[in-house]
Structures are given as C-alpha cells and as structure tokens.
Amino acid sequence: MTFYTALAAGMMLTLWLTCSLTEASDTVPPFAPTQKQEPAPQNHLSTSHFMAVHDFSHFTATTTPEGKLVLLSPVFSAPLDWDELVVSWNAQLPPASSLQVEACGIYPDHTTKYYTMGIWSDDPARHPRTSVSGQHDTDGTVNTDTLVLKRPNAQVQIRLTLGYDPATGTAAPQAAATAQAAGVKTVGAATSSVSTPQTETATPPQSMDNLRQSLKFMGLCFCNGKAKNEPLEPNRAAWGKVIPVPERSQVSYQGGEGWCSPTSVSMDLAHWSKVLNRPELNKDVPEVARSVYDQTWGGTGNWPFNTAFAGSFPGVRAYVTRFSDVSEIEDWIAAGIPVILSVSYDLLKGKAESQDAGHLIVGVGFTEQGDIIVNDPWARLEKGETVRKTFSRRNLIAGWGNSHNTVYLVYPETAKIPQNRLGHWDGD
C-alpha cells in the first residue's frame, strides 16, 4: 500500500513504516487476570478476525508527570493463529490534543516491548502526525501501520496516550522531544523544521474526562499472513447493482500522483455527504491528503490515518479490516455501502507479477456477471480515461489478495450493515 497506492492477550497501542518512542516506558505493567477476555471459537474459514472497542471506561487510566492521560486496555485474545495486527481508531480530539497508539504482544514465556502503531493529531504544527520508523527486533517489525510478529498467536494489550497542549502554535515539548528522539520532524503547515520547545502546561484536570470521551472507537484487525482463505459462494444480490459514488481523479490535482488513498476516502465521504445531506463531509482531495499525511513515511497511504480522518466526523465509523473473499464485498455492496480496497494495480490489470507499491480503489458495484465495478482514482481525464472502471473477478482476487484482502469500511454509525458472518467487521 502506498501512494499508487476488537481481542488477544497483551499488546500496547501508534501503509507500511516503524521505532519505539521513549516517552512512555517499554515495560508492560502488571494486568489483572480478570481483565482477560476469552477468545471466540476458532473460525476455520477465515485467516483474519476483527475486534471492536466502543467503551473505554474499562481501560485502566493513569496520568504522567507531564499531564498526559494513559489508558491501558484489557488483554485481548484473537480466535486464530495471527501474526499481523492493524489498529484503527476514531476520535474527536479536543483542540491541541494528540493520541499515541501502542501495542504489545504477550506470550506464555515473555512479553514484547511496546510498538508504536501511530501518533495521531489533527494539528501536526502542535503534535506530530506520524508513524515511527526503525521498529524491528527479535519479536517483530512494524511496517508503517502493520505489526508483524515472528511468533504467531500472541495475546495483545493496547496502550493509548492522550496529550494536551493549551499553548498555541508550537508542538508540546514532550511530544516534540519524543518525536526528535525517534527521528521525526514536527512540521507546521508550510515548513518541515523542528519547532522550538516551549514551557509545557500539564493537562487541566477537567480536561481528562474530555480526553477519554474524545475516543469513539478502536478496531483491532488480526491476520494470519501465511494462510490462505477458502473461497465462499458469491452473494449474487450485489450483481447488477452500482452505488452512485462521486468520481474524482487523483492526477487531476497537482502533486496527486501519490494520493490514491485520500482520493478514495474523499469519494467515499462525498457519497455519504450526499446521502446524509451533510455538506461538511464533502472534502476535496487535497484537504484529505493534508489531513492524513504521515510525516515519517512521507506519504498519504497510511491505512489507519485515512480511516482516522474519516472517523473523526461525528456519526461516522471508519476502520481498516481484512475480508476472506469477494463475497464479503458483495455483502456490503448489496447493503448499499461502498468498500475501499487495497490492491496491487499490476495484478488488478491482469499482469503476471506485481511490481507496484499498492493502490486504493473504491468498490461501488458489480456487473450482472459478477465482475467488480470501481471508482479508480488513477484516471487521466485529459486522455479520455474514466474513473469508473470494471475489472474481472479473477483479476480482483489476485490484486486484492496482495494486501491480504485489506479494506477501509466507512459508513454512518446508524447504517444497517451486513451480518458479520465471519467476524471481519464491527457488529454481530
């Protein structure tokens, strides 16, 4: 995934980058056995599993000397031998706030360090919005937004750190120092220079509840990256159906060659803007690109950053997950909900090998024969190319499989979503 482009016992909560921050200790605090959640029955049809968190009141809360709020999750256990984890979050952060998401794996004989899955902020001039590079050790690696462990089936614990800086115009000193230690630059709207630290003000006590309440949702997508999915019967209810999602081309914008992900999100949000009569959801591509830009990775393809932006709007749910089969895309299309897909563009177009870094498209329907209809942001309109394209089902399976069938799901919280028959999304 690039510009062409919830629970298991013990990990802590930061498109494909990584290093461990020094702001919080890498030592995993003790956790009560009563926090452990028993895993769901093993699903032998699936190589992935999704767990959702809507209520953060059961997270253990502490504060740091700097006034940051730290929330430690219960221990989560997934019902499969997973080795990859992607964490998504939806938050409506107060102004001048930030969220650091970390995860740690717990095995019977030892516990891994915390891996940073992302540092999120609506205002990177005050707090970095970034993945963290260099996170590689004997236990695993973080590929930008995906934790890959060498031993499967760890339990997981998540740590969320919420920071608040009432000062204006500069990064909070602790955030800036942490970022600098990890080789991350704090940037303003038009610069990339490291900001000068200012005197930090601890989070006012009345802000703690606000910070916790700003968290709307967290999703954990577990995947066995070495296993293969079993094919499912098609859901022909989606065949012949097309959702009228607005069409936008990434290459119609200056610098948009690397904006397939924000362009797909822009199209998806524009659809819901029209359906819900909410004009504030209709964000043009450059605004979405600015809002999801990953400073360390240097691009806009960080999966959870894109869904975090979409999910920051009131009443909108957005997260990264992985499906088993095209049949599940059909479930969502039949329900009238578009699905953003991460694919190999080469394989999608029928080439024998994938030499591209990944691409994002919006699945909007299916032909009467079961081929997928998409909004493809890579369309040179001046050459007569169209955003709306059709790809064969066979090529879709090949191209989409390159990302282990990764999708973004973006929809209203009130939407009637498909039955969660394989445990791949929020809901029953």
Asked if the model's pLDDT at residue 309 lies above 60, the reply is: yes
340 & 252 share domain: yes
Q: Are 421 and 332 in contact (CB under 8 A)?
A: no
| pLDDT attached to residue 124 | 85
| pLDDT attached to residue 6 | 39
CA atoms of 260 and 266, how far apart (whole Å): 10
Residue 171 lies in a domain: yes
Residue 9 lies in a domain: no
The residue ranges of DSSP E strands in 170-315, in sequence order, are 215-223
| pLDDT attached to residue 103 | 98
Q: How confident is the model at residue 128 (pLDDT cuts 50, 70, 90)?
A: confident
Least confident window among 24-28, 71-75, 225-229, 255-259: 24-28
DSSP string, 162-193: EEE--SSSS--HHHHHHHHHTT-----SS--S
37 & 107 share domain: yes
**SS3 of 391, please?**
strand
Residue 153 lies in a domain: yes
Domain range spanning residue 324? 236-412
191 & 311 share domain: no
Total domains in the chain come to 2
212 & 244 share domain: no
Closest CA to 15 of 242, 265, 363, 336: 265
CATH number, domain containing residue 259: 3.90.70.10
Residue 304 lies in a domain: yes
Q: b/e per residue, 398-407, with b = 16+ CB within 10 A? A: bbbebbbbbb
Of 223, 245, 273, the position where a domain reaches its end is 223
Q: Are 102 and 12 in contact (CB under 8 A)?
A: yes
| pLDDT attached to residue 111 | 97
| pLDDT attached to residue 315 | 98
341 & 389 share domain: yes
135 & 194 share domain: yes
Asked if the model's pLDDT at residue 220 lies above 50, the reply is: yes
| pLDDT attached to residue 164 | 82
Residue 373 lies in a domain: yes
CA atoms of 20 and 138, how far apart (whole Å): 14
What angle is formed at CA 319 by the lines to CA 314 and CA 325, rounded to 5 degrees?
A: 140
301 & 352 share domain: yes
205 & 245 share domain: no
Q: Are 123 and 96 in contact (CB under 8 A)?
A: yes
For residues 375 and 16, the model is more confident at: 375
Q: Are 117 and 101 in contact (CB under 8 A)?
A: yes
Residue 378 lies in a domain: yes
Of 164, 195, 223, the position where a domain reaches its end is 223
- Which DSSP letter does residue 262 get? H
Token pair 């200012």 is found at 198
Question: What is the per-residue pLDDT across 145-186, written as a single tens digit (0 to 9) for each?
Answer: 999 999 998 999 999 999 987 654 333 434 333 333 333 332
191 & 245 share domain: no
Is the CA virtual torsion 148, 149, 154, 158 positive or negative?
negative
| pLDDT attached to residue 95 | 84
Beta bridge partners of 136: 141
| pLDDT attached to residue 167 | 57
Q: What is the CA radius of gyration of the chain?
A: 20
Residue 21 lies in a domain: no
Q: Are 259 and 377 in contact (CB under 8 A)?
A: yes
CA atoms of 272 and 37, how far apart (whole Å): 35
- Which DSSP letter does residue 387 get? S
Q: pTM for this one?
A: 0.83
Is the CA virtual torsion 131, 133, 138, 141 positive or negative?
positive
